[in-house]
């Protein structure tokens, strides 16, 4: 924190000692004898929390066969069973959305096992066709349920989806390149099946900003008092950091997860996400400069 003042150095030393006693960490003072302005700069921290209101589960419906026509039949049958199972849950706040179908080359199961064991793919390996569709299950009003009710509901959705043949999460590799990456990075077992979200965190962010500003003002007021001055208006405000709950892992693993889920990076939004159902925290740190009178 910097205070511009014309007071003698001995007075500044006294202010430093008193500021430390007030609980303000590592204050630093600078004197500009030729400057008429006096300011104090402090950092303020604020945090706001909220329960997730939405739970999302991503999955894949797929049909694989040597012939494209057979793969299509299997895909349509799998989609029909999955849709029937989800609708059979009769959960009013549960909805299903899709991102359209995709046609890819699939890995032969026998050859897949050979590669995982360190073998080389045979030149005459079977060429498989996969018809798949990305599905997203969205459960709203999650904050209106108790933790026990929410856990029971989410697990019921997971069981029904899997029993119907819906592959939740990243699933297995879709081709030889993905199998090689899985061998290098592990089985991606840490990937969660459910994502807990606060879709619109604008109000939560405003709360965190207000708390950070109040914290900065309280610190600046103590410094002004011990220096014999009066706290004036805000001169400048700068955001130092913003953090929210829900770890994302390292960049390499995040890239791998997106590839396995056939997802592209999303632009920053006001939503907060976590892999846990508890309260999601949003933290803000502000650097605020006040005038001294």
The pLDDT value recorded for residue 65 is 87
How many angstroms separate the CA atoms of 131 and 195, rounded? 26
- Answer for the pair 63, 78: CB distance below 8 angstroms, yes or no: yes
The pLDDT value recorded for residue 91 is 95
Ordered by start, the domain boundaries in the chain are 9-50+200-292, 54-196
- Answer for the pair 40, 224: CB distance below 8 angstroms, yes or no: yes
Query: Whole-model pTM above 0.85?
Result: no
Q: What sign does the dihedral 15-17-20-25 (CA atoms) show?
A: positive
Spatial strand order of the sheet with 39-50 comes to 39-50, 280-292, 231-244
- Answer for the pair 154, 139: CB distance below 8 angstroms, yes or no: yes
Question: Is residue 68 very low, low, confident or very high in pLDDT (cuts 50, 70, 90)?
Answer: confident
The pLDDT value recorded for residue 256 is 45
Average pLDDT, rounded, for the chain: 75
Domain 9-50+200-292: which CATH class?
alpha beta
* Superfamily of chain region 54-196: Protein of unknown function (DUF541), domain 2 (3.30.70.2970)
> Do the first three CATH levels of 9-50+200-292 and 54-196 match, i.e. the same topology?
no
Q: Is the pLDDT of residue 208 over 50?
A: yes
Give the pLDDT confidence of 112-126 residue by residue, as tens digits. Answer: 555 555 555 555 567
Question: Is residue 148 very low, low, confident or very high in pLDDT (cuts 50, 70, 90)?
Answer: very high
Question: Is residue 20 very low, low, confident or very high in pLDDT (cuts 50, 70, 90)?
Answer: very low
Percent of the chain with pLDDT over 70: 63
Q: Among 215-219, 230-234, 247-251, where is mean pLDDT lowest?
A: 247-251
Name the strand (E) or helix (H) holding 94: strand 94-106
Mean pLDDT of the region 11-31: 42
Question: Is residue 168 very low, low, confident or very high in pLDDT (cuts 50, 70, 90)?
Answer: confident
Query: Number of H helices and number of E strands within the chain?
Result: 7, 9
């Amino acid at each position: 924190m910097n205070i511009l003042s014309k007071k003698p150095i001995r007075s500044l030393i006294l202010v430093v000692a008193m500021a430390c006693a007030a609980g303000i960490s590592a204050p630093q003072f600078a004197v500009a004898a030729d400057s008429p302005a006096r300011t104090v700069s402090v950092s303020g921290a604020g945090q706001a929390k909220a329960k997730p209101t939405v739970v999302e589960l991503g999955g894949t419906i797929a049909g694989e066969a040597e012939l494209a026509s057979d793969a299509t039949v299997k895909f349509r049958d799998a989609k029909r069973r999955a849709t029937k199972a989800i609708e059979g849950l009769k959960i009013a706040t549960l909805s299903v959305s899709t991102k359209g179908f995709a046609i890819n080359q699939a890995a032969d199961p026998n050859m897949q096992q050979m590669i995982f064991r360190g073998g080389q793919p045979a030149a005459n390996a079977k060429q498989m066709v996969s018809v798949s569709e990305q599905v997203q299950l969205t459960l709203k009003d999650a904050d209106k349920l108790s933790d026990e009710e929410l856990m029971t509901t989410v697990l019921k959705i997971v069981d029904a989806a899997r029993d119907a043949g819906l592959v939740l999460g990243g699933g297995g590799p879709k081709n030889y390149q993905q199998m090689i990456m899985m061998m290098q990075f592990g089985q991606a077992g840490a990937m969660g099946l459910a994502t807990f979200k606060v879709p619109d965190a604008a109000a939560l962010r405003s709360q965190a900003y207000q708390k950070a500003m109040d914290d900065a003002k309280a610190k600046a007021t103590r410094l002004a008092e011990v220096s014999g001055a009066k706290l004036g208006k805000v001169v400048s405000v700068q955001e130092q950091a913003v953090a929210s709950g829900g770890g994302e892992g390292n960049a390499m693993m995040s890239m791998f997860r997106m590839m396995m889920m056939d997802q592209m990076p999303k632009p920053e939004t006001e939503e907060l996400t976590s892999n846990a159902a508890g309260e999601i925290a949003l933290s803000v740190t502000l650097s605020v400069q006040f005038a001294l009178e």
